Structure 1
Amino acid sequence: MTSGVTERDRAKADRQAAILQEAARLFAERGFSGVSLEDLGGAVGVSGPALYRHFANKQALLAAILVGVSERLLAGGRRVVSHPGRPVDRLRALIAFHVDFALTDADVIRVQDRDLASLADEDRRSVRRLQREYVEVWIGILSALHPDRTADELRVRAQACFGLINSTPHSLRRTTGDPGDEEVRGILETMALAALTA
């Protein structure tokens, strides 16, 4: 029995993934308004108009990047905390998950910081809703560690932790797999855990 996925489907999915990766890189470098469809097409070896086979327009491409990463973060965070274990161990796993995201999707973080306002209103609302739900995943774990703290205080802690971790792409200009990545990962995980368990 086959899965129903053809070679053509796989090739299309691979091409879309390549377009999203290159779009994130170019938007991070030049900003959303500084990148043309021709730039995007050239980066993946197709003509600019050929991109319309995959995305309705440049704004739809931005939405695929930012809504997509918000959906992946929420799903991944929920998956991490669904595993049994002590709250502190689940928090460690959640921190490691977010640090991994920051180090592997640095371009997306830069795009989010600069170009969120370029999204259509509905897509921007979707990103904000998904982000709020992701914060609630963190609050659920933090409330088990700090039962005497209010949800508002725990939200501040979680947001401050994101600020610490997500600032790394702005201060480091390295490629994924750089020999220093493991050192940076260790520093960030240690600092985040110390801040959240204090």
Structure 2
Amino acid sequence: MTPTAKQTRREQILSAAAELFARHGFHGVGIDDIGAAVGISGPALYRHFRSKDAMLGEMLTAISERLLDGGRARVDAAADPEAALRALVGWHVDFALDDPALITVQMRNLANLTDPDRRRVRALQRGYVEVWVRVVQDGVRGVDEPTARAAAHAVFGLINSTPHSAHLDREQMAALLTRMALASITSSGAPRTDQPA
């Protein structure tokens, strides 16, 4: 098996596991269930992952790395702070709509990670929040750091609700979430103290 084929198989396993974990919960899914979803025996999964815990750790670490790297890349490529904010919102909206199972697994299963994996995922998540905090402060006048942080977490809650709230088609839902997210972030701005209220 070539490295590319092996990587493809790992991705297939992780994708199937994410769907099952999202639907039945981490503890409600066995190795045999994941194997059956990808057409191999449960024990054959151990050629790819040492355990179900390792599978979850790789899954959530990869999600967090993907969000952080993608967010940074879009901000770095933006022409100005407003464009950076739109790009960051668009990135997170696309992620949530395209991978709702991963969003669900990420939200529900942090406590099921091993301690080293949990520390790694939390560090990556903090890094992603810091990208948002900087972009919100740069893109919205008069927002201090605590407000920017609160606004970022509020927008995560809005966008990450898509596994339950996506009742429109993909394009309409993306447009709605983008409008709502940008409106909520920009409304967090406060008038400057040197200007009349």
The normalised TM-score by structure 2 is 0.91
Report what 2:79 is aligned to.
Answer: 85
Report what 2:182 is aligned to.
Answer: 193
Alignment counterpart, residue 59 of structure 2, candidates 62, 65, 73: 65
Report what 1:182 is aligned to.
Answer: 171
Report what 2:194 is aligned to.
Answer: none
Q: Would you say 1:154 and 2:143 are equivalent positions? A: no
Query: Distance in 1 between the 2:22 and 2:71 partners?
Result: 24
Alignment of 1:19-168 (within 5 A): 19-146=13-140, 148-168=142-162
Query: Distance in 2 between the 1:159 and 1:166 partners?
Result: 10
Checking the alignment, whether the CA contact within 8 Å between 1:110 and 1:170 is kept in structure 2 is: no
Q: 1:95 to 1:84 in 2, by over 3 A?
A: closer
Amino acid at match of 2:86: R
Query: Distance in 2 between the 1:180 and 1:115 partners?
Result: 28
Q: Which runs of 5+ in 2 are unaligned?
A: 188-197
Amino acid at match of 1:182: E
Moved more, 107-116 or 61-70: 107-116
Checking the alignment, whether the CA contact within 8 Å between 1:74 and 1:130 is kept in structure 2 is: yes
Question: Could you tell me how far 1:116 is from its partner in structure 2?
Answer: 1.4
Query: Distance in 1 between the 2:107 and 2:72 partners?
Result: 23
Amino acid at match of 1:91: L
Q: Which runs of 5+ in 1 are unaligned?
A: 1-6, 174-178
Amino acid at match of 2:143: R
Query: Distance in 2 between the 1:131 and 1:97 partners?
Result: 15
Question: Could you tell me how far 1:147 is from its partner in structure 2?
Answer: 5.1
Amino acid at match of 2:71: G
Checking the alignment, whether the CA contact within 8 Å between 2:78 and 2:87 is kept in structure 1 is: no
Checking the alignment, whether the CA contact within 8 Å between 2:166 and 2:173 is kept in structure 1 is: no
Query: Distance in 2 between the 1:84 and 1:102 partners?
Result: 21
**RMSD (Å), alpha carbons:** 1.4
Aligned residue pairs total 187
Deviations 1:21-70 (A, max 9, x none): 00000000100001110001010011111111111100000011111100
Moved more, 16-25 or 143-152: 143-152
Question: Could you tell me how far 1:146 is from its partner in structure 2?
Answer: 3.4
Amino acid at match of 1:27: F
